[in-house]
Structure 1
Amino acid sequence: MNFPAEEDFHRLLDALTLCVLLHDAETKAIVWANRAACEALGFTLEEILPLKAKDMTRPVPRYRREIGVGAMDRAITEGPQVYEWCYRSRTGADMLSEAIATYVPLRERGVVMVQFRDISIEDTLKQTLRRYESRLREFMQDLGEGVAVLTPVGAVEFVSESGRRVLGLQEGVPMGDVLDYCSVSDRDRLLQQLANAPRIQPSAPQRYRITRRDGTPVWLRITCRRIEIEDDLNGRLLHFRDITDEVAVEEARRNEARLLEYAGRYNAMGEMATAIAHELSQPLAAVRNFIEGAIRRLAQPGVVDDVLWGLRSADRQAERAAVIIKSVRDYIVKREPSETYVDIRDVIADVAYFIELRAKEAGVAVTIEQASEALPVYCERVLIGQVVLNLAFNAIEALTECTNAAARRGELRLVTSLRGKYALVQVVDNGPGVPTEAHGRLFDGFSSSKAGGNGIGLSLCKNIVTRHGGEIWAKPARQGGLQCSFTLPVVTVPAR
């Protein structure tokens, strides 16, 4: 076999940037070093040749000469050996290295070539990464948010410790299919969210009511995004948080709001009690008169027709009283929230009777100007009616208390119209108005446009309107007084 000459081999290795030491295959003594090795260790070739392991190696047990010699012996019998070695330079600086011992038969003799490269930076990075990983695990252990990675086909590739805790998973138990946690009705929605996951930022959060592995029902807020990191990590990154407490608080607030709205309706009825009593007294008195007249006529012969006329008249008056009572009952009765598609003009018509009744007692003229086209909105009909009532009653009371009421008659206008994509309702009076600086805070709590008022009714109006996606505001009326307006989004009523 034609082996290379040692001098030619030296010339070849000297051209490398990789550090190389040649050891005699039998004695393991250094017989040559290339230029890169001399520069890295800070010795000349002449200085390196007589050196032993103790002269150029970090003095710790794991770098004993016997270990290095053993690696070189195995390289001769078993092939190339890779091991870690820590060289020490002339200045005493340690150079952690990845060494590869390879047996090379040269023409003159056999040698073991030890190639080495500085891996100090890599080792430092590995240690740093291990520390970061340990810290990250500790931090994620205490997070209230879970993290999971799904493969492109939807399999769970990773779930954080905090995520296992959120899902009620015991250690070592696989997470399983994410869809198994959702109700059947929510599965399509979750699949849609995963399919539409954006690349740059998380998706809009969505809520799901899920059942933990321990059987506990909880609410989760889930966001996700697509991840594509070459071939290393692909799929969907999910963040999920237990928001059961938040949902419970929100439900409690909704219940409080419903109770407040219900109390507001009772308050409105209380303010109208006198007018309603007066309105009912007329048909009831007429019923009594017609019945008494009919009884007297029955005592006389040949008066059946007159009696029938009196009884029919009494029936009509009783029916009128029943209509009044039913209107009050329909408004005041406690109802669960029920959103529906409705023409805002119909809502105005629902409450017009009560407004006109209250205005009649106060001597206020009411004008209703309805839009010519339909104004369909999606709302809780009773609550939006309450907003109109509150605004109208507030205006009527302001007109009643107006000091110059004798000079001109109070006027109240209710106007509906279309403004862009919104239905607009305006309640306009010609009363004293409110100071300019009060317009911006009129619908905040405890701010009122009338003397002695606490403003809760107006604050309630803002709460209801904003919850329906609208806005409410006040400004001076063109002819003096106050103009209160609110909008609701116009919607397309689905075909039935």
Structure 2
Amino acid sequence: MTLIDETFQTMANSSDLGWLVHELQSKNILWANEKACEAFKYSVDELRALKAHHMSSQDPNYRREMGIAWLQTAVVEGSNRRFWKYRDRNGVDFLTEATATVYELEEVGKVLVVKFRILGGTEAPPEPSTWVEETMDRLMRHTSSGILLLNSENKVEDASPLAASLFGFSVSEILNKNLRELGETDVDLDSEEAKLQMEKPDGSLDVRIKVSNKYGTLRWLAGFLDNVVDTGKTFRVLTVRDISDKVEWEKRNAHQMANLQYLSRYNAMGDMAMILAHELGQPLAAATNYLSGVLKRIPKDQELPEVTYGIEQARKQLVRASEIVTSVKRYVRRIESTTSVFDLTREVEESLYFARLRAEEKGVIIHDDLLPGELLVEGESVLIGQVIINICMNALEEVVLPTTEDKLMELRTESDGDTVSILVCDRGRGMDGVPADLLAAGAFSSKEDGSGIGLIISEHIVQRHGGHITYEPNEPRGTKIRITLPLVHQNS
């Protein structure tokens, strides 16, 4: 070939390695030395007409996208080494240890030269590169999380099919895309702090990525960006998994907690209104009676128009105040009567779903044993559901403590025909030295900054539904929280 000077050809043909000269941008083959032609069983002219997928093994671990990413990394960084399995003219695969390096030739300019050594059938690849070159591929195909291999500029060099699909792309489409193009991260990867962190050999970052597809559907991914050092070279590996359900639960839980706090204040105002109405009713009625008595005691033969007028006006104001108090009573009772009959089993199952999202994240197993059929309860289903979630979250916080050996939580329902009980059990530290009747009163909280307010609100809600919460020792250890509510029996 006239474009490759004779000195370069002579040097390449004297080598014990196979040499493939690729065009820098297209990756097309420009020339090959004698060793390469022998290995592929093609002439130089025949090799020029071949594409990457014609020369590579059909093994999915050596798919075309990975080969292009490998060569492109060499273009960007000057050199890149890996094990690659080629295929010869007869369809026979052969494994090589290959290094792609950028060269500058006088007549051609910059080219990409791949030098490869064929590994024998009994010859194993050197150990230092097994993680990146082999185990990485297996992990990409068999892990339940998606994996992206990034360069130092956070561009995708390789991706598992799952990772590509999580971002809404195929593997070939996602290659060479910057992470910024794939979604919105909660950590600015271009910030000085992030760059300094990832420049460390052991650098790592936790990120959340908001991904929107072409239809506008949002997906949330949790990612762990980690540096992997192999033979002196650093690779960035981003492991991602779908946490859309968890994020939705967090949003819903935050909304419900805010609503719960509002309703708690609202209910407290209702309680205070009822107390004031009750306490003010008697003295207002008494004052009215006293004024009526005074009017009757004024002698008829003594005309005191100013006094009579003043007493009458005062009595009218007291009557008006009594009417306001009565109106407040009716209003509060009307608010409290806006309830409905709902199926507690369905509410427990929904609460279990959200509790399991948190439990899975913390490595906790939840066992459930729910009574079959409907368990009808009257009240506010959202509030009761939030009480169940709040109790479950408290139990999970106890289970995940290092001192808790059994990473297990149990939830079951029981009924005596008139009432239904929801039992949440953990095997944590238990209640030694803590009176059960003081738990909901705010006397007990295992959290460093805990105040017991969540338990107070929960018990207040349950009491307004005609039920109660009790705290008992669990067997063989831990705490059992029982939420008891009255059942509604509907005539068939």
Same fold by TM (over 0.5)? no
Computing the radius of gyration over CA atoms, which structure comes out larger, 1 or 2?
1
Report the TM-score, using the length of structure 2 for normalisation.
0.36
Report the TM-score, using the length of structure 1 for normalisation.
0.35
